[in-house]
Structure 1
Amino acid sequence: MPDITPLQSQAPWVEFQITDSDWKNADPAVLGTLLTHVHLIRAFEETVVGLAMEGLVHGPAHSSVGQEGGAAGSLAFLRTTDQINGSHRGHHQFLSKALAHIHPNGMSPTAELGANTTALLQRTLAEILGLSQGFCQGRGGSMHLRWDDAGVLGTNAIVGGGIPLAAGAAWAHKHAGTSDVAITYFGDGAVNIGSALETMNLAAAWKLPLCFFIENNRYAVSTSVEEATAEPRLSARGQAFNIPSWKVDGMNPLAVHLAMEQALEHMRTGRGPTIIEADLYRFYHQNGGFAGSAFGYRSKEEEQQWRERDPVALMNTKMVELGLITADDIEQLQNRIQQAMKNAADALVEADPDGKAGKRRIRPELWPAPHFRDVGLRGDLSEMNGVATVEQDNFTSSLENRKFIDVVADVMGRRMETDPGVVIMGEDVHRLKGGTNGATRGLSDRFPDRVLGTPISENAFAGLGGGLAMDGRYRPVVEFMYPDFMWVAADQIFNQIGKVRHMFGGDINVPLVLRSKVAMGSGYGSQHSMDPAGIFATSPGWRIVAPSTPFDYVGLMNTALKLNDPVLVIEHIDLYASSGLAPTDDLDYCLPVGKAAVRREGKALTILTYLSMVQHSLEAVEQTGVDAEVIDLRWLDQASLDWDTIGESIRKTNNVLIVEQGARGTSYGGWLADEIQRRYFDWLDQPIQRVTGGEASPSISKVLERAAHARTEEVVEGLQRVQQGQGLN
């Protein structure tokens, strides 16, 4: 008979309920502020719903009517330096945090709103309508609200997508030695996705001051909590990660406020993350102004039961019962807020001169200008003003033959030595004498608090790096052991890090470096071998560098770490063991942004290539005797390609061969060939030729792997095709 010993979680998990004595003992100023917040949020949201029903909100309008208590209770008394982010349904949290920023000492329900508050209401409404005076200049709309000055990192349209970003803010607060916290808001639907669970684990392991605030409104669109999980008490997730958790009535603003006070005390004293589950209810459907019962997934009886627990009505009743306010005072508060919302809407919309009577339109002069479309997709490179750049042929310090991988580790060590903001994170970067390839050799001993070995959770630590970059105090260097792992973290890489600058108005910096290595030929098979250049080049927001020599690696990494954009630094496993000229003492120089290198001059054709294929191309040229010009692109993203050097070469040779190693389906050369033919069609004597691997990803079999990717032999064949196209043997 086996011995069975019951096990218990170490994490406290409580249901938090308040009594009449808590209401009586509450600070009247706290209650007055909560009352004012919920009324402001309710009136704002009702205005948004009304405009949406008029057809004036382009896109969704996810209202939080009914959920005001969770936002006001948790946010009304946060510091400005505390930071939050949220989900697609985030107007209420944005407003409450912004109001706390404007009114750090609270708000009296009998006082005038003030110019700052009315300006906030109008500017927030403008963003939801997509107008240029909005916080994101109209690009964010209802789902992407950001105001950095107020500590709002940005709401997010990807379910759970913002959770890892908030962990980056929490890490920054902890490492900077502050007692500030981060709060990430998300719903019941996000509780079951990888980003949420990965980040809970990471935050707990690293004791980050991060509150996971779950708004359990019972429905992910129309799917109920009970349908989605066997444990509908969502704060139970904390038990798996040793995170203290509170389950609270989210329709009661004071209960949420008191629970949040306990959670804040835990986080501010360095004891790690917390979870608060607030049970609440959205009175309308997922989007728009109709009740959920109109779509058949909720009953009218259920909706009525929750409306009887309306947080606004509760605050009204309790404040009057306590003698802190009169019914007339509440009516006057409502009138002031309603008038403020009418003024805000009237400033943005007008009668439609071409429409029916009573029909309104957005004031035409308030739309963003069409030419603003791509502004801020990447930075303007002003951070490089005054930065001296060099090339190897005019480098004046000493050079000697050095192994590529040693240079990788040395330049990272130098940057961490000179810039206390550089932080490295990734799987095993702190072990194995410098990670799996030695790229971080010796760094964890020298900088133990800035070389972070992570769990195997690319979504969480990539997103944490993104949040860290957005914080502005640090420059994260995130290592993916293999590029294929980017698909695991695709949301954070492409939807978040690549888009946030543009999405939030184009004026925030995202100084992040993502390192990864191409491993074709190493025998690691289909899921560890890809070249990511083609995917990143067709994804907005990223810059891409691909060093082919040790000297270039130093200069390109230094430049990447100066840029305020996310930069993918692609390395190649074949290059790590190679040697080449590299500096012995000067590790501080930069290579220019957007400058290719001509590795061999020629007149017969132009070869465009990068990484290890530069050397393979040079070998093929030598074998065939073709007078080819070999250009090492170095910068691969669309904004940084050296079209001057490329164009000058094409006008001279009139023939192009694009050489890359990886699979055709995700190739870099496909879009590059299209761009070249549109720019230089009149100078081309024949169609652009390409050297790539096969359609399939490399296999484990040595023979099949070799057949799947390109090397010198395939470049020779490509040169022969170009010659045949010229009528030459």
Structure 2
Amino acid sequence: MSRHQKLTYAAPWVELRTSDRDWESADPRLLTDMYTQLVLVRVFEEYVLDLASKGLVHGPAHSSIGQEGGAVGSALALGSADTVNGSHRGHHQFLAKTLRHVHPEGIDPTQPFSSEVRTLLLRTLAEICGLDRGFSHGRGGSMHLQWKEAGAIGTNAIVGGGVPLAAGSAMAHRLSGSDAVAVTYFGDGAINIGSTLETFNLAAAWDLPLCFFIENNQYAVSTNVREVTGEARLSARGPGFGIPSWKVDGMDPLAIYLAMKEATEYMRAGKGPTMIEADVYRYFHQNGPYPGSAFRYRSKDEEAEWRKRDPIAMTASWLTRRNILSQQEADDLTLQAKEFLADIGSDLLEDDPTAKAGVRRIKLSEWPDPKFVDVGIRGDLSEFDDVRVADRTDFQGEIRQGKFIDAVADVMNRRMQTDDSIVVMGEDIHRLNGGTNGATRGLKDKYPDRVLGTPISENAFTGLAGGLAHDGRYKPVVEFMYADFMWVAADQLFNQIGKLRHMFGGDDEVPLVLRSKVALGTGYGSQHSMDPAAIFATAPGWRIVAPSTPFDYIGLMNSALLCKDPVLVLEHVDLYDSTGEYPVDDLDYYLPVGKAAVRKSGSDITVITYLAMTNYVLDAVSREGAPDAEVIDLRWLDRASIDWDTIGESIRKTNNVLLAEQGTLGTSYGGWLADEIQRRYFDWLDQPVQRVTGGIASPSISKVLERAAIARDEEVARKLAEVVLL
């Protein structure tokens, strides 16, 4: 007969509740600071809703009124070196952390608010309104608030999107030897997001000092949490991943503070991540100044019951009960805060001369200059000012023949040897003598703490790398085994990493390198064979390099690792075993950003290509009877780095262009490039830009069908024959 033995979690899961003794013994300065912050956050949010109702906030105004206890209580247990990020409903999270930063000693509610508090609230309000004096010059608005110096590393509009980034911040703390911790705030919607669950696992596996702080406000827009999960006690997720977890009444700010104190002590001791679930309640609808009952997804009675437990009222009652503040002093603080916000608003608002009396508008001088719209999508490349740039034509070192895959491993070894900030991560890169292709050969033995084999969770480890890069102390190098896996991590690549610099004002450096291989022709089929160049070329923020020779790989990888922008480094399986010119003992040169290579000079037609297709093109143009083609290897593929000087010079000579690539027609890189060439060089073209691409379908497993789906030298040769007949 079978037996059943009850199992228990290895990690504890507890509910923390305060007693009267906790409130009676709490430090008066803690309680007055707590109360002051709660009131400031509440009044600030009410002022924002008032501006929104008058059309002065462009976009959403996701208020946190009712939820202040969780943010304030938790932030009071943190220091400026600790980092936090949060959700689209993140005003309270941002303000709690930054108020703690400007006044770590606490804020006295009986004294006038300081100039530091005024500046903080003014810049926050300006950012929410989209104005130039905001923290991100108005680009972030309500949902993207960041002040890195205060440890507020950015709220996030993608549900669950900021959780992996916070893991990167926690990783930076751990690698640096600091006892700082990271906190990521998210809600009952994000708890079921794949990237969040992946990050639970990754943080636990790597013992990251990261607190997963769940603000369970009961509703994702209008859907109750009990409708979407079989376990509505969301902190139950933690022990399943080996994460100690606390469930706390989020309307009780002291309980939150005590739970966070316990969690931070655990994390600062190097024991790994923690989880806190705070049961809170948003008094208003998802966006705007109306209660949820106005939309009939919750009742007025429910709202009234939660309001009876208001965190501000609870804290005030204990302050007066203990004679720390009089009732008059407690009441006066709210009035003082409202006058303070009105005065701050006067810096941003003025009477609208085009409207009736009493109507206000944003001061025209506060808006950002429209010319600022594209500034800071990428960096200015000033990091290259003092480095040795060398192309093959002016390289002074000795050259030998070497394998492409050796260049991949050798240059990474060289850079890790000279730069302690480089951290490499990816699936299986620490095993198999350098991963599945040998690209990280020998690195784990030499740099055991900086070569990290990851779980199969691209969203989590890519986002972690993004957060690590955003921290500024490290340069992560991420390997994707196949380029198709980028779509698994698409949110982190495109919504997060690619937009970080621009979204937060243009000054944030994001030095991340993403390596991935294109495996067209290997028989790995539709989900392991794509060329992602065209998709990345449409994404702002990324730079793209595509080396076709060992010499170029070394110089381009050096440049990618130096660059302060995220860089995609494409590698092709066809090239790994190829040989070419290889520096004997000099791996420290940099190929210039935005410089193409002319692989063959010619006068009849300009053939533009990249990556492994370069060799196929060279084979095709060398055949008997082929036109005298000039072959340009782009090397840099992002829009900002196209070498128009080299392309233009060639087109003015040949008056004909053929774009050649291997990948499918639907994701063709040449589509946008052909359009741009025809716009720039129409007067020099004797015919439309011609193209060679793969077929419509993704490559199949069948050797015959796969070959039919991709382009190589035969397709180039046929197209060249057609072009000369036109």
What band does the TM-score fall into relative to the shorter chain? over 0.9
d(CA) in 2 for partners of 1:24 and 1:613? 74
Quick one: distance in 2 between partners of 1:266 and 1:410? 40
Q: Is the 8 A contact 1:76 1:99 kept in 2?
A: no
Q: Which residue of 2 aligns with 1:524?
A: 524
- Aligned-pair CA distance for 1:356: 2.4
Question: Which residue of the partner structure matches residue 33 of structure 1?
Answer: 33
Alpha-carbon distance, 1:358 to partner:
2.1
When the two structures are aligned, how many residues end up with a matched partner?
A: 725
1:198-217 alpha-carbon deviations (Å, 9 max, x no partner): 00000000000000000000
Alignment partner, residue 427 of structure 2: 427
Is 1:713 matched with 2:724? no
Q: Tell me how far 1:336 sits from its aligned partner.
A: 2.0
The residue aligned with 2:689 is 688
User: Hey, what's the Cα distance between the residues in 2 that align with 1:348 and 1:42?
Assistant: 20
- In structure 2, the partner of 1:59 is 59
| CA offset digits 1:548-570 (Å, max 9, x no partner) | 00000000000110000000000
Partner of 1:644: 645
Q: Which moves more between the two structures, 73-82 or 518-527?
A: 73-82
Q: Which residue of 2 aligns with 1:140?
A: 140
Q: Secondary structure at the match of 1:479?
A: strand
The CA deviation at 1:479 is 0.5
Q: Does the CA-based 8 Å contact 1:147-1:154 persist in structure 2?
A: yes
Instruction: Tell me the TM-score normalized by structure 1.
Output: 0.99
| CA drift at 1:3 | 2.3
Match of 1:561, SS?
helix
1:435-474 matches, cutoff 5 A: 435-474=435-474
- 1:85, 1:352 → 2: CA distance? 37
SS in 2 for 1:476: strand
Quick one: distance in 2 between partners of 1:454 and 1:594?
32
In structure 2, C-alpha distance between the alignment counterparts of 1:475 and 1:408, rounded to whole Å: 17
Q: Cα offset for 1:625?
A: 2.6
Counting only pairs closer than 5 Å after superposition, residues 36-435 of structure 1 correspond to structure 2 as 36-435=36-435
In the alignment, is the contact (CA less than 8 A) between 2:626 and 2:720 conserved in 1? no
Equivalence for 2:536: 536
Q: C-alpha distance in 1, partners of 2:54/2:71?
A: 27
Query: Do residues 635 (structure 1) and 628 (structure 2) align?
Result: no
**Corresponding residue SS for 2:143:** coil
Q: Distance in 1 between matches of 2:638 and 2:725?
A: 31
**Alignment partners' CA distance in 2, 1:279 and 1:357:** 44
Aligned equivalents of 2:65, 2:680: Cα separation in 1: 53
Q: Which one-letter code corresponds to 2:330 in the other structure?
A: I
Secondary structure in 1 matching 2:14 = strand
Q: Distance in 1 between matches of 2:46 and 2:626?
A: 75
Per-residue deviation, 1:167: 0.2
Q: Contact between 1:187 and 1:216, CA under 8 Å: does it hold in 2?
A: yes
Q: Distance in 1 between matches of 2:718 and 2:238?
A: 59
Q: Which amino acid aligns with 1:421?
A: S
- Equivalent positions of 1:613-692 (< 5 A) are 613-623=613-623, 624-692=625-693
AA of the residue aligned to 1:448: P
Query: Which secondary structure state, in structure 1, belongs to the residue aligned with residue 700 of structure 2?
Result: coil
Please give the alpha-carbon distance, in whole angstroms, between the structure 2 residues aligned to 1:187 and 1:243: 18
Task: Give 1:434's aligned amino acid.
Answer: G
8 Å Cα contact 1:60-1:287 kept in structure 2: yes
- SS of residue paired to 2:4: coil
- Please report how far the alpha carbon of residue 357 of structure 1 lies from its aligned counterpart in structure 2 after TM superposition: 2.6
Cα-to-partner distance string for 1:146-201 (whole Å, 9 max, x where unaligned) = 00110011000000000000000000101111100000000000000111100000
Alpha-carbon distance in structure 1 between the residues aligned to 2:423 and 2:724? 49
The separation in 2 between residues aligned to 1:442 and 1:95, in whole angstroms, is 47
Deviation at 1:343, TM superposition (A): 1.0
Is contact 1:37–1:76 with CA below 8 Å preserved after alignment?
A: no
Q: What is the CA-CA distance between 1:721 and the residue it aligns to?
A: 2.3
Mapped partners of 2:190, 2:344: distance in 1: 33
Find the counterpart in structure 1 of residue 703 from structure 2.
Answer: 702
- Gaps of at least 5 residues in structure 2 are none
1:436-515 correspondence to structure 2 within 5 Å: 436-515=436-515
Equivalent AA in structure 2 for residue 401 of structure 1: Q
Report what 1:607 is aligned to.
607
C-alpha root-mean-square deviation of aligned residues, in Å?
Answer: 0.7
Shift in Å, 1:139:
0.2
Instruction: Return the alpha-carbon distance in structure 1 between the equivalents of residues 393 and 378 of structure 2.
Output: 30
Q: Normalising by structure 2, what TM-score?
A: 0.99
8 Å CA contact 2:425, 2:451 repeated in 1: yes
Q: Distance in 1 between matches of 2:165 and 2:708?
A: 41
| CA drift at 1:660 | 0.4
Q: Which amino acid aligns with 2:107?
A: M
Distance in 2 (alpha carbons) for counterparts of 1:631 and 1:75: 56
Task: For 1:660, give the aligned amino acid.
Answer: E
Comparing 162-171 with 619-628, greater Cα deviation is found at: 619-628
Quote the offset at 1:407 in angstroms. Answer: 1.1
Out of 495-504 and 380-389, give the one that drifted further.
380-389
Aligned counterpart, 1:549: 549
**Structure 1 stretches lacking a partner, 5+ long:** none
Whether contact under 8 Å (1:206, 1:272) holds in the other structure is yes
- Partner SS for 1:142: helix
Check the 8 A contact 2:626/2:717 in 1, yes or no.
Answer: no
Aligned mates of 2:408, 2:556 — CA distance in 1: 11
Conserved? CA contact 1:689–1:721, under 8 Å: no
Q: Is the partner of 2:423 in helix, strand or coil? A: strand
2:361 alignment partner, SS class: strand
1:335 deviates by 2.3
- Spell out structure 1 runs of 4+ moving beyond 6 A: none
Separation of aligned partners in 2, 1:240 and 1:652: 66
